[in-house]
Chains A and B, each alone.
Chain A
């Protein structure tokens, strides 16, 4: 099974006959054509031919997605976005051409298209071709474009170099989108990022602004010395949620001082070690 086959099955099961016929004929035409203009036209025509409803995938379909491409979460995908990716994947056998066309399509895209193209990042062949494009999406000031790359998408954690990954995390905090839906969040934590995040927290504190408690998730595994003092400050001055976040961060810190500090808060220490408290639950109850 390929991603294209999966998308095709999902769409064919949901589209009305005329839309289905148009889509399947277009795929055949693109497979047999060397003309990029045909690709652009077919993908533009999706707006007129394919409805914008949510795919609303079943549990079994979501499992098939996860099995095919771990971390790929098409929960929020719409018909038209899936159709555009499926049409692009007609060029699957020509990775350089697919990359060229996608770049041109991104340059001229409207917002729905752009969000769809970024959501498709984990499905394109030779994924290393798209790192610059992904970084461009992460530079966007349009939140839905940013989250199309950053959320429910395994591409960044697999392909982005550390500097770009760290910028993505900082920007997520900066534009106030949650970190939780970022795939590979814990796996890609690093010392440089932890330091940048603590510096960012200091900036926020200096300005009298609040700090997103999720920030400490990426600090915890590298928390030593001055960072422990930052977490101590969160304990002494933070809200309930912030204190819970500090406890979760201290729990995974390699610094023995962190464990001593955590033991000073026996209730939190207990719920963290017992697994009652975790990041997902913390965000859900916030």
Chain B
């Protein structure tokens, strides 16, 4: 039997998830996660709550993840929904430079369009400029509604601001957007999110059709009905359905790593040789588990080997 595959979930809102999720993710082979700044399901009404949230992404959540043997990185940005509160947005934009150089910040994100308003456009453009100034990749959230036009517009504006498409990840793609994204040289990420975004049977067909170049997947699991095991389940499903192991590995690990390592803030050695970096020593103090053993050091496994194919489906 081949060794279990190491996996990355490059878009997941762990702040909204439990320690049980971290344990299941580690068991399923996830070695690293990227948590982009987003909203809380309801809009924030003041900058202070945004500031505390960003601080938790570079501080507490990173520490919490390490207790389960998962390396945590984040993207810092003002999301498109809250960009529509101009007073809040202005203050948050001023705050971002204080976070963009922190350890483990791999991108400006997730930013882009929701309703495609003028306010969203202004904030998106301002943050593209920050990405250039701080030499960080960009994680673009594409809208749920009027998706195709929103995706095209996101790319046009990024190019207009002089961003290199090789440093921009277009997220939440589907069958209708993938070709435009790939042909312009951007990274195409797909979100396996039950019922609203991609299902993983569809994703398997996309992998079959487009291969594995510049394509990767994520769960975007958050406070909604979502699945923090979407990446491991999809990796397994792809293998079961005959996608080559090398392609699966790129789609579920290597490509996200290549895209975000352009920040200089995420490196395979962080989890391959954790003992060699003092990051781990810094995080070793363990107060989340309250007396239980940390998962650190346990060998990650694949999803439960007794799982049947129907257990792997994300609709």
Contacts and interface: CB of A to CB of B under 8 A. Distances in A.
A108 B51 contact: yes
Give the interface size bracket for B toward A.
Answer: 20 to 34
A110 interface: yes
Nearest to A108: B98
B59 interface: yes
Contacts of B103: 47, 110-113
11 contacts: A41-B97, A44-B101, A47-B102, A52-B278, A108-B51, A108-B55, A110-B59, A110-B103, A111-B59, A111-B283, A143-B285
Nearest to B63: A142
Given A142-B285, A144-B285, A107 B55 contact: yes
Contact of A110 (B102, B284, B285, B286): B102
B50 to A, nearest CB: 11
B286 A143 contact: yes
B282 interface: yes
Interface in A146-195: 146-147, 175, 177
B58 A110 contact: yes
A78 B98 CA distance: 22
B167 interface: no
A21 B39 CA distance: 41
A183 B103 CA distance: 30
B62 interface: yes
Contacts of A144: 281-285
A109 B99 CA distance: 8
B104 A110 contact: yes
Given A109-B59, A111-B59, A114-B59, A143 B284 contact: yes
A40 interface: yes
A141 interface: yes
Interface string B6-49: 00000000000000000000000000000000000000000000
Interface in A8-28: none
Contacts of A143: 284-287
A52 B278 CA distance: 9
Contact of B98 (A40, A48, A112, A146): A40
Contacts of A240: none
Interface residues on A, range: 20 to 34
Q: Which of A41, A45, A47, A115 has the most CB of B within 10 A?
A: A47
Interface string A116-150: 00000000000000000000000001111011000
Given A143-B284, A143-B286, A108 B99 contact: yes
A79 to B, nearest CB: 12
A107 B287 contact: no
A115 B282 CA distance: 9
B51 A107 contact: yes
Given A115-B282, A144-B285, A44 B98 contact: yes
A221 to B, nearest CB: 30
Interface string A71-102: 00000001000000000000000000000000
B54 interface: yes
5 nearest A-B residue pairs (beta carbon)? A143-B285, A44-B101, A141-B287, A110-B102, A110-B58
Given A48-B101, A141-B287, A144-B283, 5 more contacts: A47-B101, A107-B51, A109-B59, A114-B59, A142-B287
Nearest to A141: B287
Interface string A17-55: 000000000000000000001001100110110001000
A141 B98 CA distance: 24
Nearest to B264: A48
B99 A142 contact: no
Contacts of A37: 97
Interface string B272-290: 0000001001111111100
A204 to B, nearest CB: 13
B60 interface: yes
A114 B287 CA distance: 17
Nearest to B285: A143
Nearest to B95: A108
B102 A44 contact: yes
Contacts of A109: 55, 58-59, 102
A147 B287 CA distance: 13
A138 to B, nearest CB: 13
A82 to B, nearest CB: 15
Given A108-B55, A110-B58, A111-B63, A175 B285 contact: yes
Nearest to A112: B103
Contacts of A108: 51, 54-55, 58, 95, 98-99, 102
A40 B281 CA distance: 26
A155 to B, nearest CB: 20
Contact of B287 (A40, A78, A115, A175): A175
Contacts of B287: 141-143, 175
B283 to A, nearest CB: 7
| Most B C-beta atoms less than 10 A away, residue of A40, A41, A104, A110 | A110
Interface in B58-86: 58-60, 62-63
Interface in B91-147: 95, 97-104
B61 to A, nearest CB: 11
Contacts of B284: 143-144
A141 B288 contact: yes
Nearest to B52: A107
Contacts of A104: 98
Contacts of A113: 102-103
A37 B97 CA distance: 9
